[in-house]
């Protein structure tokens, strides 16, 4: 795979974590549609990752990444640069949930969620930044959650990890703006994906009760916003936390 458009111009490379399913898979497709080469990561499901590669031949490549392994983000970024080109954009999308009331949350579950969602995003940012800073160009989009803004009973660990991502995003925007690097956070509303199929009908009704738009939010809605934020059309946007939630946070 080479970083070339059909016309011969150099194509930019985006790295999307958790790109083999759900919102991440939609982001991979949306970025390819507007001309990016996309490196995406998966943790366990190789078959799903291969499906994404097959759907986008010569445009998408899978890399295994377990965010609980602190050394792996640096390794993946080096492998992407060697095989596809330097990472011009990072989308931190990968995440896990371990839902339980706080009084029933174990240290192991808390650590797993915070280590993957918040610390994993931090390490991926740290891995791509030396190259972005040297080139004085780059863009980062971090995928947060409405539970970071309003809280959800039973999701204290998840909410805390996603709130940390918002703080990380705003600090990055302050640190990196003078080097022409932008950082923003996207806050999806309820989106039906593999991660949310275990939600009960009653909980689903509660989650969607505040939506202003009856169609709700799809993976494509989130992916289109991410693609816009990575584009030159968003050249003056940084440090922002943007909800795509069918109006539920109004």
152-190 core/surface letters (b: 16 or more CB in 10 A; e: else): bebbbbbbbbbbbbbebbbebbeebeeeebbbbbbbbbb
Q: What residues are annotated to the active site? A: 158
């Amino acid at each position: 795979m080479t970083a070339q458009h059909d016309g011969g111009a150099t194509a930019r490379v985006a790295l999307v974590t958790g790109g083999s399913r759900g919102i991440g898979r939609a982001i991979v497709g949306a970025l390819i549609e507007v001309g990016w080469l996309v490196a995406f990561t998966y943790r366990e499901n190789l078959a799903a990752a291969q499906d994404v590669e097959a759907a986008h031949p010569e445009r998408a490549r899978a890399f295994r990444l377990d965010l609980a392994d602190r050394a792996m983000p640096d390794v993946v970024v080096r492998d992407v640069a060697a095989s596809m080109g330097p990472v011009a954009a990072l989308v931190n999308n990968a995440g896990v949930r371990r839902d339980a009331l706080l009084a029933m949350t174990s240290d192991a579950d808390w650590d797993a969620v915070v280590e993957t969602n918040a610390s994993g995003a931090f390490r991926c940012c740290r891995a791509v930044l030396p190259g972005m800073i040297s080139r004085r160009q780059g863009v980062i989009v971090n995928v947060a959650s409405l539970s970071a803004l309003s809280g959800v009973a039973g999701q204290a660990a998840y909410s805390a990890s996603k709130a940390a991502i918002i703080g990380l995003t705003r600090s990055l925007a302050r640190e990196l703006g003078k080097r022409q690097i932008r950082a923003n956070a996207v806050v999806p509303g309820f989106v039906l994906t593999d991660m949310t199929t275990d939600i009960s009908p009653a909980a689903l009704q509660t989650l969607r009760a505040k939506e202003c738009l009856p169609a709700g939010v799809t993976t494509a809605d989130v992916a289109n916003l991410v693609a816009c934020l990575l584009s030159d059309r968003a050249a003056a946007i940084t440090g922002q936390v943007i909800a795509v939630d069918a109006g539920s946070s109004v």
